């Protein structure tokens, strides 16, 4: 059992404010992670009054805040974690990256998925309208990648050769059940691509 003295060394405000700023990763913020993991119950109670719940995945090494599901018995609380409307191509790329993670987990003991920009371009190219303007295509994909980096699902790890690590938190947003119908969704994606862009509220 943890002593009262060691408990007093833990910092609840640090854990909560770090979560309010965004995703907490074990590898990036080891000290914050230590406080968060040991204070999970207190963190859950603290953020619940704001209509939030904390998701902690100790196996994958990440934690984040999500809005509590709607409940008729609970007074309405303004949403602090906003839903983001994603462009069709960003949604498609997120789904393709999630599929790559599933393939890695099934065939490889490595826990990190690192892809070059060229690999991502080739992965996405088959689902995009054919274009003779290669530079414009690359610029468009760079825009999509920047958005996904901003969302926290990718981390840039290479400068000389543009390279990205797929953050495993993506698994929490696109689960295995959703992924099981991926091939069917790809057919729909292809049809939508032929007709124009759509929006996705994932």
* Per-residue pLDDT tens over the stretch 75-90: 454 444 455 567 778 8
Instruction: Output the pLDDT for position 13.
Output: 92
Long-range contacts of 147-155 (CB under 8 A, 24+ apart): 147/86, 147/87, 147/90, 148/90, 148/93, 148/94, 148/97, 151/84, 152/22, 152/23, 153/94, 153/97, 154/97
CA distances from 166 to 17, 22, 46, 114, 149 (A): 25, 17, 30, 6, 9
Q: How far apart are CA 148 and CA 143, in angstroms?
A: 9
Instruction: Output the pLDDT for position 77.
Output: 47
> Considering the entire predicted model, what is its pTM?
0.66
The domain limits of the chain are 4-67, 86-200
Instruction: Output the pLDDT for position 78.
Output: 47
Asked if the 86-200 domain carries CATH number 1.10.10, the reply is yes
Instruction: Output the pLDDT for position 189.
Output: 62
Segments of the chain scoring below 50 in pLDDT: 1-6, 72, 74-75, 77-81, 197-202
């Amino acid at each position: 059992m943890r002593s009262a003295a060691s408990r007093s060394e833990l910092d609840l405000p640090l854990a909560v404010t770090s979560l309010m700023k965004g995703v907490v990763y074990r590898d990036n913020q080891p000290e914050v992670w230590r406080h968060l993991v040991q204070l999970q119950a207190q963190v859950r109670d603290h953020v619940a009054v704001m209509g939030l719940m904390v998701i902690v995945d100790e196996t994958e090494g990440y934690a984040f805040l999500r809005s509590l599901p709607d409940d008729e018995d609970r007074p309405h609380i303004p949403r602090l974690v906003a839903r983001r409307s994603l462009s069709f191509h960003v949604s498609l790329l997120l789904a393709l990256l999630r599929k790559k993670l599933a393939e890695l987990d099934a065939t490889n003991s490595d826990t990190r998925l690192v892809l070059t920009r060229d690999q991502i371009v080739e992965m996405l190219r088959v689902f995009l309208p054919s274009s003779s303007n290669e530079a414009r295509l690359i610029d468009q994909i760079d825009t999509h990648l920047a958005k996904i980096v901003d969302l926290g699902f990718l981390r840039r790890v290479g400068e000389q050769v543009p390279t990205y690590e797929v953050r495993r938190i993506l698994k929490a947003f696109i689960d295995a059940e959703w992924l099981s119908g991926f091939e069917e969704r790809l057919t729909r994606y292809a049809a939508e691509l032929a007709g124009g862009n759509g929006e996705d509220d994932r």
